[in-house]
């Protein structure tokens, strides 16, 4: 990973989206020692304040580096065949119950070595980076044995050493019931609680613990056991909840102080209130909604009314969202869920960082790490409006220009 740049750099006359709002005037931004050191309307900028600074860019739109707060980027194989089956009318749940779906990726991932998983995952990571990502969360969940889950997490950590990007890892041992535990789900949950979570915590391989709370996943009671174990090991909590039905998984997660509840198409008002009270972020995953051709919309209006922070993520995974283009997610969040472009962009920057417990990221403000994107567009809303690769002019990580065109 490149070290922090100690030089002083200036971006001049840029339109700034600061992670929450678009600033009114063209701005000049000073970066020093890897952090944002100053931010002025260009008309008020005084050269003396940035003595010795080199001009790194001029014009365009400057945003925080994008934060993709929910991905399953590490896996082997693909599920193009299931995509065709679903187009012929077989449902995601039917495929899962027949031993396909997540379990098909589990078979391929268990058979792959760490190096093979790196080779399979790097092109997907590179696609995210080319679209402006500077922080990515990566889940396990296709191993489902202690060794294979740790293998996935190790691969995720190694990806963060191979590329200039922050990787946050999440243990998703409770993603599906592996075939060797058929009929013994509670025993598998014990394995997650008593062995996987302690091992991942001891090796520093997981920042958080996630569950799939669903009829084809795990029950709220089983998820609660997992949350207790996660808490006992000091790990943050997340949930895949209310994706295909309403089991109250989001409210349960909120009760345990979860950072986020993700998917939430079937969330009801009581669930929204629970998220609001706990300060849990609602992570919207329009890619999965789109690919599964879902019709149940997440309760956006209620989330707004209760002031629940909304993040947007790619959910990049081989089944429900084989899409590694975060700016497309901004577009889908607007077209499918009717977010405003501002909400969508905030959802991929400041709110996404919040969903990872990283309040220092996803903002352009003095003191924040200088993870930035400079885009060849006129105004921030264009990132959600047009779907177009190649608009990224620079990607800045820790104050260093790590990609420039």
Minimum distance from CB of 391 to ligand NIG (Å)? 27
102: partner contacted, choices Fe ion, ligand NIG, none (Cβ within 5-8 A by kind): ligand NIG
Q: Give the residue with the Cβ less far from ligand NIG, 262 or 371.
A: 262
Minimum distance from CB of 141 to Fe ion (Å)? 8
Cα distances (angstroms) measured from residue 280 to each of 89, 291, 355 = 35, 26, 8
351: partner contacted, choices Fe ion, ligand NIG, none (Cβ within 5-8 A by kind): none
Sole residue written with tokens 């620079």: 394
Minimum distance from CB of 78 to Fe ion (Å)? 16
392: partner contacted, choices ligand NIG, Fe ion, none (Cβ within 5-8 A by kind): none
Q: Which of 115, 219, 207 is nearest to 174 (CA)?
A: 219
> Which of 117-125, 182-190, 273-281, 312-320 is the region at the interface with ligand NIG (rule: CB under 6 A)?
312-320
- Number of shown-chain residues binding ligand NIG (CB under 6 A): 13
Minimum distance from CB of 176 to ligand NIG (Å)? 8
Q: Which of 39, 119, 8 is nearest to 73 (CA)?
A: 119
Cα(405)–Cα(345) distance, integer angstroms:
23
Q: Give the residue with the Cβ less far from ligand NIG, 210 or 371.
A: 210
Minimum distance from CB of 142 to ligand NIG (Å)? 7
Contact in structure between 154 and 205 (CB atoms under 8 Å) = yes
Q: Give the residue with the Cβ less far from ligand NIG, 151 or 240.
A: 240
Contact in structure between 378 and 15 (CB atoms under 8 Å) = yes
> Which of 127-135, 318-326, 339-347, 376-384 is the region at the interface with ligand NIG (rule: CB under 6 A)?
318-326
Minimum distance from CB of 215 to Fe ion (Å)? 16
Minimum distance from CB of 204 to ligand NIG (Å)? 25
Q: Give the residue with the Cβ less far from Fe ion, 315 or 400.
A: 315
Contact in structure between 159 and 123 (CB atoms under 8 Å) = no
Give the single-character DSSP code of 243. Answer: S
Of 43-82, binders to ligand NIG (CB under 6 A) are 72
287 touches ligand NIG by CB under 6 A: no
105: partner contacted, choices Fe ion, ligand NIG, none (Cβ within 5-8 A by kind): ligand NIG
Cα distances (angstroms) measured from residue 346 to each of 40, 80, 92, 167, 343 = 21, 32, 30, 20, 5
395: partner contacted, choices ligand NIG, Fe ion, none (Cβ within 5-8 A by kind): none
286 touches ligand NIG by CB under 6 A: no
Both structure tokens of 74: 């590490």
Q: Which of 377, 393, 379, 312 is nearest to 350 (CA)?
A: 312
Q: Which of 216, 207, 267, 204 is nearest to 238 (CA)?
A: 207
Q: Which of 163, 129, 162, 143 is nearest to 74 (CA)?
A: 143
315 touches Fe ion by CB under 5 A: yes
121 touches ligand NIG by CB under 6 A: no
Q: Which of 250, 338, 248, 243 is nearest to 292 (CA)?
A: 243
372 touches ligand NIG by CB under 6 A: no
- What crossing angle do the helices spanning 102-111 and 146-162 adopt, rounded to 10°? 80
Strands 372-375 and 392-397: antiparallel
28 touches ligand NIG by CB under 6 A: no
Q: Which residues share a beta bridge with 66? A: 133
- Per-residue binding letters, 209-238, with ligand NIG (x by CB under 6 A): ---x--------------------------
319: partner contacted, choices ligand NIG, Fe ion, none (Cβ within 5-8 A by kind): ligand NIG
Both structure tokens of 319: 């089944």
* Helix (DSSP H) and strand (DSSP E) numbers for the chain: 16, 16
105 touches ligand NIG by CB under 6 A: yes
Q: What does the binding site for ligand NIG look like in residue numbers (CB under 6 A)?
A: 72, 101-102, 105, 212, 240, 243, 288, 315, 317-320
Q: What does the binding site for Fe ion look like in residue numbers (CB under 5 A)?
A: 315
């Amino acid at each position: 990973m490149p070290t922090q740049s100690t030089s002083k750099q200036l971006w001049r006359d840029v339109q700034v989206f600061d992670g929450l709002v678009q600033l009114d005037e063209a701005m000049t931004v000073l970066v020093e020692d890897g952090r944002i050191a100053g931010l002025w309307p260009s008309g008020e900028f005084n050269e003396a304040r940035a003595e010795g600074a080199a001009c790194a860019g001029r014009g365009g739109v400057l945003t925080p580096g994008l934060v993709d707060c929910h991905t399953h980027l590490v896996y082997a194989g693909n599920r193009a065949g299931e995509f065709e089956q679903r187009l012929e009318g077989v449902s995601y749940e039917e495929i899962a119950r027949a031993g396909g779906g997540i379990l098909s990726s589990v078979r391929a991932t268990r058979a792959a070595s760490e190096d093979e998983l790196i080779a399979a995952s790097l092109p997907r990571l590179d696609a995210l980076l080319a679209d402006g990502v500077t922080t990515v969360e990566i889940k396990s969940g296709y191993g489902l044995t202690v060794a294979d889950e740790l293998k996935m997490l190790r691969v995720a950590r190694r990806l963060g050493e191979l590329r200039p990007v922050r990787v946050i890892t999440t243990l998703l041992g409770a993603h599906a019931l592996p075939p060797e535990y058929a009929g013994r789900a509670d025993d598998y949950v014990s394995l997650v609680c008593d062995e996987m979570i302690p091992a991942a915590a001891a090796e520093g391989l997981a920042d958080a613990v996630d569950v799939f709370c669903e009829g084809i996943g795990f029950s709220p009671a089983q998820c609660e056991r997992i949350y207790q174990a996660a808490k006992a090991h000091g790990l943050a909590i997340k949930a895949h909840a209310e994706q295909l039905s309403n089991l109250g998984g989001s409210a349960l997660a909120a009760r345990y102080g979860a950072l986020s509840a993700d998917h939430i198409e079937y969330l009801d008002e009581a669930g929204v209130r629970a998220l609001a009270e706990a300060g849990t972020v609602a992570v919207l995953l329009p890619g999965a909604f789109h690919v599964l051709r879902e019709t149940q919309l997440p309760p956006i209006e209620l989330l707004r009314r209760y002031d629940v922070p909304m993040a947007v993520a790619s959910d990049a995974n081989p089944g429900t969202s084989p899409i590694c283009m975060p700016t497309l997610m901004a577009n889908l969040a607007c077209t499918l869920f009717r977010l405003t472009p501002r909400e969508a962009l905030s959802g991929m920057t400041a709110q996404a960082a919040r969903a990872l417990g990283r309040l220092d990221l996803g903002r352009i403000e003095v003191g924040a790490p200088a993870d930035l994107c400079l885009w060849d567009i006129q105004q921030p809303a264009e990132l959600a409006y047009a779907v177009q690769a190649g608009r990224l002019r620079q990607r800045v990580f820790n104050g260093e220009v790590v990609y420039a065109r």
